[in-house]
Amino acid sequence: MSVPNAEPGGSIARVVLGEADIDRALTRIAHEILEANKGSDNLVLLGIPRRGFPLAQRLAHKISRTDPAVDAEAIVGRLDVTMFRDDLRRHPTRPPGPTKLPPSGIDDRVLVLVDDVLYSGRTIRAALDAIVDLGRPRSVRLAVLVDRGHRELPIRADHVGKNLPTSSAEKVRVRISEVDSVDEVVIEGPA
């Protein structure tokens, strides 16, 4: 997509998805979700902060454009998984954020977890543990903007915007306008 740029610290960064690419990927994912669910009935999107929640909101708006009977705000929730993570000892402490379910709740709903990057699978495992405390959905699906591989747990995404084969030495940075003032996916690696 773009020419690699030198980053501070001697790493190389290259943009692999721009704003239009992200929009197309989310439009495709929204249609895949509707097709897999055979419509919008009983659908709930739970975004995992930080970037998964705004992505879930975007998906809900795309779904509501396809099915005008859908209230985009009523099908979206936020699922904080901080206290369910198994790597809290290895990462700096971060305060838990709010979990907010849609008014319909999640019981007997088709729940779609939304996150920005699927890597080891540990965040999704934590999300599944959190869901057990909140209710009993009919089914749980996973939508991610980027799947970069390197799974440590047997977890896979049902809906993927872009598969990015990466080395474990590289970092995938998803930046979205609601959080970062720009829409792009960047791979950073050693120079």
| Domains detected in the chain | 20-164 (3.40.50.2020)
Tokens of 67: 């099915």
Cα separation, 92 vs 84, in Å, equals 15
Q: Please compute the mean of the pLDDT values over residues 110-121 and round it to a whole number.
A: 97
Q: Which helix (H) or strand (E) holds 145?
A: strand 139-147
Confidence (pTM): 0.91
pLDDT band for position 111 (50/70/90)?
very high
Sheet holding 110-118, edge to edge: 76-78, 43-47, 110-118, 139-147, 159-163
Q: Please compute the mean of the pLDDT values over residues 89-113 and round it to a whole number.
A: 88
pLDDT band for position 190 (50/70/90)?
confident
| Strands annotated E in the chain | 5-7, 11-17, 43-47, 76-78, 110-118, 139-147, 159-163, 171-175, 184-190
pLDDT, one tens digit per residue, over 18-54 is 999 999 999 999 999 999 999 999 999 999 999 999 9
pLDDT band for position 109 (50/70/90)?
very high
**Predicted pLDDT at 14:** 95
- In degrees and rounded to multiples of 5, residue 127 shows phi and psi of -65, -40
**Predicted pLDDT at 164:** 96
The answer to whether 2 and 15 have CB atoms below 8 angstroms apart is: yes
